[in-house]
């Protein structure tokens, strides 16, 4: 009797487990299919958008009237951004597919720049037409390669989940059509980037002459240790671990770090000249004893000690009893936005917690600043008359094309919002309008 | 509207001057001796905003963060009262302000603690200046004594608290065992990717790009981040990049992809190698 009951119970148990297992399996499959569908959508949409981009560039080539050309460029720009968004959703994290993204984003930049320009006054140049032509051809190749992959994927019912697995396991032997196809696309695009380097397709960025104007001689390890010990306020150099940067660094650095109980420090020092470019100290911050204003004085003294001259505080802000300050280089009354230095001060005892001068060392140099061709009053007329201007100055900023331009710098209000408006001092072009925020409701409290 | 306001102001100001002598003995507490500047937070800012509102210069929320609204209000006040217009609440400005206005600290603090919408205009009945508290607030613990008085926070230009939180999640999931700089570095890589044309253009896009971060793939991103991770994210947003513009990083002990080794390496921080 007992035996039969036991057998019955066990059978029930097995049946129950089987049923539960089956359900789990079903659920897992449902989720897998859902993920797979998301990937499929992203991929097919990507191919579709590349098709469209190719066609639209073709149409743009045939257009003669400049009035139609601008909206057409905007359309291409929009499509590249859509296509890029889809690339970002594909499980390609481990597969280098960046060149393709970069290519798309370059098309986007180029079409954007031409679209926002007044094509009536400045029609496409010969060179730009050539670029458009070559973009047309290049996008045709990508289109074809991607279509091939798409065709194979559809024909053989290939799944992106398998791609992801293959990529994650890094299995070289797996014959995966999708991966191979995408690698071909990437190779093709890589070829373009090289040929496009010298064309106007890639904007001239100020980043290209980065770190060219650093003064001083190259320092050795001992010197680096001495400088970092001073900055970190340590008695002993033995606590410091010093390392050097590798081949990939933009500029050779020494990095010094130390770790104590409850306190960590890190300094990056330029090998050339031994200038500290970045400093970070992390510790628990106690109750606030000094004000944001006093902190700014500490920060500005600190910069003077380091040999920064003509730095002017531009902005200050308090987060969790830490004062964060931005200083800008002031060139005879002209604010240079690209020569910025940030300093962090602990508001419990006034200790300097951080410094970053990367953009300063990247951009700072002796500039030949031309006289503005427009007067302040003329420039003001270019600003929306509804904006009430309260503060004004003159400055150098980097515009959308990455060029340094001389601008009038207006700070004004419209309704309850504050705006910073930059008007080109030569052409009167409104280079940048920025709505200043900086505070937000604390959702954790409210 | 401007003219209406200024006549109104004049009347208020005159009334205040008349009342100054009678009021001042009651003022037990005024500002601490700090110079208050743009970006500051705390009780002094609340008092500054309340006093400026009392005089009708400030129409925004009394939230304890010295933002642009407070800045313009303060400058207007300095202009109207013949002070140096520098947007800093220094000794002289504070004295003038204290003389010209009343500050009902108990009322303001009570309103803030109760999470009510309120104003602090001079010459208006207090009852009318306080809106009923939101219902959701009622259920929460009434810690009126030590509860936070500042109801807003400074956020770096272009980022919301939620962006910061999302990044802190990613940083904590990826690098919680790393030194502080290593955490700033991971946050900086996320931001470098947002900037780079080869990656998605938003923080969320970069973080959730399939396969990009292991912490996202295995769900560790949903652990609750600690304060250090958040601080690291803030530093990265404020411009600290210990990686030297790196776009990738990997742990050499666990990295499986040979491709990642082919990237030009910048430096090693903690366990991670950062590369272009």
CA–CA min distance B268, chain A (Å): 8
Q: What contacts A67, CB < 8 A, 6 or more positions away?
A: A119, A120
Asked whether residue A442 is domain-assigned, the answer is no
Q: Are residues A48 and A179 located together in one domain of the fold?
A: yes
Q: Does B40 touch chain A (CB under 8 A)?
A: yes
Q: Are residues B103 and B224 located together in one domain of the fold?
A: no
Mean pLDDT of A293-314: 89
Q: Does B154 touch chain A (CB under 8 A)?
A: yes
Coil/strand/helix, residue B268: strand
Give B-chain residues touching A105 at CB under 8 angstroms: 197-198
Q: Are residues B179 and B271 located together in one domain of the fold?
A: yes
Asked whether residue B144 is domain-assigned, the answer is no
* % of chain A residues with pLDDT over 70: 89
Give B-chain residues touching A107 at CB under 8 angstroms: none
Q: Does A415 touch chain B (CB under 8 A)?
A: no
Q: Widest CA span of chain A, in angstroms? A: 107
Q: Are residues A194 and A227 located together in one domain of the fold?
A: no
Identify the pLDDT of residue A20.
93
Tokens of B162: 């939620």
Say whether B39 and A315 touch across the interface (CB within 8 A).
yes
A292 vs A297: CA distance, rounded Å = 9
Q: Are residues B174 and B78 located together in one domain of the fold?
A: no
Q: Tell me which residue has tokens 């049946």.
A: A15
Range of the domain at B46: 2-135
Give B-chain residues touching A193 at CB under 8 angstroms: none
Say whether A250 and B197 touch across the interface (CB within 8 A).
no
A436 vs A413: CA distance, rounded Å = 10
Asked whether residue A215 is domain-assigned, the answer is no
Q: What is the CATH number of the domain that holds B14?
A: 1.10.101.10
Say whether A316 and B179 touch across the interface (CB within 8 A).
no
Q: Are residues A20 and A93 located together in one domain of the fold?
A: yes
Q: Are residues A196 and A293 located together in one domain of the fold?
A: no
- Read off the pTM: 0.78
Asked whether residue B153 is domain-assigned, the answer is no
Last residue of a domain, one of B86, B119, B135: B135
Identify the pLDDT of residue B34.
82
Asked whether residue B150 is domain-assigned, the answer is no
Say whether B198 and A105 touch across the interface (CB within 8 A).
yes
Residue from A38, A104, A170, A249 to probe the interface with B (highest B Cβ count within 10 Å)? A249
- B34 vs A105, A278, A293: nearest CB: A293
Asked whether residue A138 is domain-assigned, the answer is yes
**Above 70 in pLDDT, residue B135?**
no
Range of the domain at A432: 376-436
Tokens of A297: 């004085």
Asked whether residue A251 is domain-assigned, the answer is yes
- A319 vs B34, B234, B257: nearest CB: B234
Say whether B181 and A319 touch across the interface (CB within 8 A).
no
Q: Does B43 touch chain A (CB under 8 A)?
A: no
Strand ranges in A77-235 using DSSP code E only, listed in sequence order: none
Q: Widest CA span of chain B, in angstroms? A: 81
Say whether A255 and B267 touch across the interface (CB within 8 A).
yes
Chains A, B: CB contacts within 8 A come to 216
Count of structural domains within chain A: 3
Asked whether residue A211 is domain-assigned, the answer is no
Task: Assess contact for A246 and B267: CB atoms under 8 A.
Answer: yes
Minimal-distance CA residue of chain A relative to B179: A264
B138 vs B156: CA distance, rounded Å = 31
Identify the pLDDT of residue B15.
47
Task: Assess contact for A147 and A139: CB atoms under 8 A.
Answer: no
Q: Are residues B125 and B20 located together in one domain of the fold?
A: yes
Mean residue pLDDT of chain B comes to 78
Q: Are residues B194 and B117 located together in one domain of the fold?
A: no
Residue from A89, A246, A398 to probe the interface with B (highest B Cβ count within 10 Å)? A246
**Above 60 in pLDDT, residue A91?**
yes
Q: Are residues A324 and A236 located together in one domain of the fold?
A: yes
Q: What number of other Cβ atoms are within 10 A of residue A169's Cβ?
A: 10
Asked whether residue B179 is domain-assigned, the answer is yes
Q: Are residues A342 and A409 located together in one domain of the fold?
A: no
Q: Are residues B120 and B171 located together in one domain of the fold?
A: no
Tokens of B100: 């010209």
- B67 vs A93, A246, A438: nearest CB: A438
Q: Are residues A72 and A194 located together in one domain of the fold?
A: yes
**Above 50 in pLDDT, residue A206?**
no
Using alpha carbons, select from A272, A232, A235, A273 the residue that is nearest to residue A256. Answer: A232
Asked whether residue B151 is domain-assigned, the answer is no
CA–CA min distance B19, chain A (Å): 31
Q: What is the CATH number of the domain that holds B269?
A: 1.10.10.2520
Q: Are residues A297 and A385 located together in one domain of the fold?
A: no
Asked whether residue B155 is domain-assigned, the answer is no
Q: Are residues A31 and A116 located together in one domain of the fold?
A: yes
Say whether B152 and A443 touch across the interface (CB within 8 A).
no
Identify the pLDDT of residue A345.
92
**Above 90 in pLDDT, residue A116?**
no
Asked whether residue B102 is domain-assigned, the answer is yes
Mean pLDDT of B257-265: 80
Q: Are residues B194 and B98 located together in one domain of the fold?
A: no
Give B-chain residues touching A292 at CB under 8 angstroms: 34, 36-37, 39-40
Q: Are residues B103 and B182 located together in one domain of the fold?
A: no
CA–CA min distance B47, chain A (Å): 15
CA–CA min distance A347, chain B (Å): 11
Last residue of a domain, one of A363, A397, A412: A363
Q: Are residues A130 and A272 located together in one domain of the fold?
A: no
Q: Which DSSP letter does residue A250 get?
A: S
Identify the pLDDT of residue B99.
84
Asked whether residue A332 is domain-assigned, the answer is yes
What's the pLDDT tens digit per position in A127-169?
888 888 888 888 888 888 888 888 888 887 778 887 777 766 6
Identify the pLDDT of residue A93.
62
Count of structural domains within chain B: 2
Last residue of a domain, one of A152, A175, A203: A203
Q: Are residues A139 and A37 located together in one domain of the fold?
A: yes
What's the pLDDT tens digit per position in B165-219?
899 999 999 988 888 999 999 999 999 888 887 788 788 888 888 878 888 888 8
Q: Are residues B86 and B173 located together in one domain of the fold?
A: no
Specify the range with the lowest mean pLDDT, choosing from A103-117, B10-24, B252-266.
Answer: B10-24
Coil/strand/helix, residue A138: helix
Q: Which DSSP letter does residue B130 get?
A: B
Q: Are residues B123 and B168 located together in one domain of the fold?
A: no
Q: Are residues A255 and A139 located together in one domain of the fold?
A: no
**Above 70 in pLDDT, residue A211?**
yes
Q: Does B34 touch chain A (CB under 8 A)?
A: yes
A334-346 and A388-398 strand pairing: parallel
- B238 vs A167, A246, A342: nearest CB: A342
CA–CA min distance B115, chain A (Å): 7
Q: Does A300 touch chain B (CB under 8 A)?
A: no
A263 vs A281: CA distance, rounded Å = 7
């Amino acid at each position: 009797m007992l035996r039969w009951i036991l057998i019955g119970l066990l059978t029930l148990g097995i049946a129950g487990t089987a049923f539960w297992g089956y359900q789990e399996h079903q659920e897992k499959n449902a989720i897998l299919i859902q993920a797979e569908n998301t990937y499929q959508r992203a991929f097919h949409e990507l191919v579709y958008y590349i098709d469209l981009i190719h066609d639209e560039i073709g149409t743009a080539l045939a257009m003669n009237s400049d009035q139609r050309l601008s909206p057409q460029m905007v359309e291409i720009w929009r499509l590249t951004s859509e296509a890029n968004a889809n690339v970002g959703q594909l499980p390609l994290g481990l597969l280098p597919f960046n060149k393709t993204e970069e290519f798309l984003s370059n098309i986007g930049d180029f079409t954007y720049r031409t679209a926002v320009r007044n094509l009536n006054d400045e029609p496409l140049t010969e060179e730009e037409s050539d670029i458009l032509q070559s973009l047309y051809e290049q996008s045709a190749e990508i289109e074809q390669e991607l279509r091939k992959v798409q065709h194979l994927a559809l024909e053989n019912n290939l799944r992106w989940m398998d791609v992801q697995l293959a990529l994650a396991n890094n299995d070289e032997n797996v014959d995966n059509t999708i991966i191979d196809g995408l690698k071909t696309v990437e190779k093709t695009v890589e070829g373009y980037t090289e040929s496009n380097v010298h064309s106007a397709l890639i904007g001239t960025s100020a980043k290209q002459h980065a770190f060219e104007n650093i003064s001083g001689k190259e320092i050795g390890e001992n010197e680096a240790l001495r400088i970092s010990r001073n900055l970190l306020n340590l008695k002993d150099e033995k606590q410091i671990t010093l390392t050097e940067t590798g081949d990939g660094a933009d500029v050779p650095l020494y990095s010094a770090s130390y770790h104590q109980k409850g306190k960590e420090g890190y300094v990056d020092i330029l090998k050339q000249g031994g200038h500290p470019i970045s400093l970070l100290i992390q510790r628990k911050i106690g109750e606030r004893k000094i004000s944001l204003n006093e902190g700014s004085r500490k920060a500005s003294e600190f910069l003077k000690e380091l040999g920064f001259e003509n730095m002017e505080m531009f902005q200050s802000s308090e987060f969790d009893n830490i004062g964060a300050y931005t200083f800008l280089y002031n060139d005879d009354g002209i604010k240079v936005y690209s020569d910025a230095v940030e300093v962090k001060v602990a508001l419990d005892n006034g200790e300097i917690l951080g410094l970053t001068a990367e953009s300063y060392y990247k951009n700072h140099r002796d500039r030949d600043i031309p006289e503005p061709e427009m007067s302040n009053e003329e420039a003001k007329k270019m600003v929306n008359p509804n904006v009430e201007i309260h503060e004004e100055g003159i400055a150098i900023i980097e515009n959308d094309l990455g060029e340094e331009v001389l601008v009038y710098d207006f700070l004004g209000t419209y309704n309850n919002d504050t705006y910073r408006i930059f008007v080109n001092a030569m052409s009167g072009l409104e280079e940048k309008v920025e709505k200043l925020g900086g505070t937000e409701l604390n959702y954790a409290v409210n | 509207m401007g003219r209406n306001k200024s006549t109104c102001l004049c009347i208020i100001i005159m009334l205040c001057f008349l009342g100054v002598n009678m009021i001042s003995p009651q003022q037990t507490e005024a500002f601490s001796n700090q110079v208050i500047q743009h970006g500051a937070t705390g009780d002094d800012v609340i008092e500054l905003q309340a006093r400026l509102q009392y005089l009708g210069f400030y129409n925004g929320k009394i939230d304890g963060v010295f933002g642009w609204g407070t800045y313009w209000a303060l400058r207007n006040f300095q202009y109207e009262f013949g002070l140096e217009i520098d947007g800093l609440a220094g000794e002289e400005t504070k004295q003038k302000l204290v003389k010209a206005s009343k500050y009902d600290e108990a009322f303001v603090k009570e309103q803030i603690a109760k999470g009510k919408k309120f104003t602090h205009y001079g010459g208006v009945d207090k009852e009318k200046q306080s809106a009923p508290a939101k219902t959701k607030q009622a259920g929460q613990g009434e810690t009126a004594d030590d509860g936070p008085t500042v109801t807003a926070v400074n956020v770096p230009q272009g980022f919301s608290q939620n962006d910061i939180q999302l990044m802190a999640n990613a940083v904590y999931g990826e690098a919680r065992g790393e030194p502080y700089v290593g955490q700033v570095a991971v946050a900086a890589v996320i931001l470098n990717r947002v900037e780079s044309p080869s990656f998605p253009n938003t923080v969320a896009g970069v973080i959730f790009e399939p396969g990009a971060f292991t912490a996202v793939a295995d769900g560790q991103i949903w652990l609750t981040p600690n304060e250090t991770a958040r601080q690291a994210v803030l530093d990265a947003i404020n411009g600290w990049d210990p990686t030297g513009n790196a776009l990738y990083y990997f742990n050499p002990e666990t990295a499986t992809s040979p491709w990642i080794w082919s990237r030009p390496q910048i430096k090693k921080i903690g366990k991670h190698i950062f590369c272009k």
